[in-house]
Amino acid sequence: MRKYGVIGLGQVGATVAYTLVQQGTVDELVLIDKNEALAKAQKLDLDDASPRLSSTTKIILNDYSALADAEVLIVASGNIGAIDMNSSKGRFGEYDLNQAIVREIAPKIVASGFKGILIDIMNPCDVMTDYLQRMTGFPRQRVFGTGTFLDTARMQKYVGQAAGTNGKNVAGYVYGEHGNSQFVAWSTVSVNGQPIKNFPGLNLDQLEEDARQGAFAVMAGKHYTNFAIATCGVRLAEAVSADAQLACPVSAFDPQYGTYVGMPAVIGKNGIESLIQLDLTTDERASLAASAKFIKSQVDVLPQA
């Protein structure tokens, strides 16, 4: 039996839940939100869809103890309305709110007896992933965040459009913070198997900025993002369940920097199976170190008890 949990049932968490139920990914799904009316409404809506689906998912509501035998827990709490698109704070608009949520839910997750893999979507993603790991005390391997998985998808999309091909044909990684200090490691990027340097007509600086600002382009129109990030969370959860050994960029703990930061890793049944250490350029290594230093500085000041 495949069983997942989702904490936080706003736009992102609800889309994660809908995707899991609609795809028939899980047999049981634990949904948790402190807004009990919202949680009940999400369950009712999903239950109403059940007779028209080819699969059946048992939904358990607001019961932390039900997480004890869950394989994957996705944390999607927060309030995206706190993000100011016109401020340099960016995703750090949720910093104060979400650090308090971590302190509230972490003891409940631990007390539930949960022994699975925890995937964080909360913003600022790297900081909150690190904080969740510290506050739960779970092995770092078992806790990771979506990180630059989505930013890399945005890069692939924009590079593909500029090169006249499908973004699926673009390989490579966005490293660093899921935020302002992220960067495209162009040394890792290729299009249809050819290194990006073979496409001199592309404006790499603009493409990098497009990827960095991708979330805000969406939010400008509908004031939140949900489809893409939920897709990333589900894909990572499925990689854990299938022991897929999926190579992709996530927010993973790198002992070299002492914090979580976006970089390629291998995802399998144990969570982070291994980090992928590529031969980055000197400038890319410096950018990664600077981004990780910033992330760590924002975690280290948070209450640790």
Residue 123 annotated in ligand binding: yes
Gyration radius of the chain's alpha carbons? 19
Residue 10 annotated in ligand binding: yes
CATH number of the CATH domain containing 43: 3.40.50.720
Question: How many independent structural domains does the chain possess?
Answer: 2
**Tokens (6 digits) for 294:** 């910033």
**What SS3 string covers the chain?**
CCEEEEECCCHHHHHHHHHHHHHCCCCEEEEECCCHHHHHHHHHHHHHHHHHCCCCCEEEECCHHHHHHCCEEEECCCCHHHCECCCCCEHHHHHHHHHHHHHHHHHHHHHHCCCCEEEECCCCHHHHHHHHHHHHCCCHHHEEECCCHHHHHHHHHHHHHHHCCCHHHEEEEEEECCCCCCEEEEEEEEECCEEHHHCCCCCHHHHHHHHHCHHHHHHHHHCCCCHHHHHHHHHHHHHHHCCCCEEEEEEEEECCCCEEEEEEEEEECCEEEEECCCCCCHHHHHHHHHHHHHHHHHHHCCCCC
Domain match, 203 and 138 both: no
Give the model confidence (pLDDT) of 190-216 as tens digits: 999 999 999 999 999 999 999 999 888
Domain boundary among 127, 145, 163: 145
List the catalytic residue out of 43, 142, 178, 212. 178
249 touches 173 (CB < 8 A): yes
Stretch 101-112: mean pLDDT: 98
Predicted confidence at residue 216, as pLDDT, reads 87
CATH number of the CATH domain containing 156: 3.90.110.10
Predicted confidence at residue 199, as pLDDT, reads 96
The pLDDT-based confidence of 86 (bands split at 50, 70, 90) is low
Number of neighbours of residue 223 by Cβ within 10 angstroms:
12
Residue 61 annotated in ligand binding: no
> 């100011």: which residue's tokens?
84
Domain match, 37 and 128 both: yes
Domain match, 231 and 184 both: yes
Give the model confidence (pLDDT) of 211-248 as tens digits: 999 888 898 899 899 999 999 999 999 999 999 999 99
The pLDDT-based confidence of 287 (bands split at 50, 70, 90) is very high
Look at residue 305 and tell me if it is in a domain.
no
Q: Is 223 a catalytic residue?
A: no
The pLDDT-based confidence of 81 (bands split at 50, 70, 90) is confident
d(CA 207, CA 166): 15
Predicted confidence at residue 85, as pLDDT, reads 61
Residue 254 annotated in ligand binding: no
Domain match, 12 and 138 both: yes
Range of the domain at 25: 3-145
Domain boundary among 110, 125, 145: 145
Residue 121 annotated in ligand binding: yes
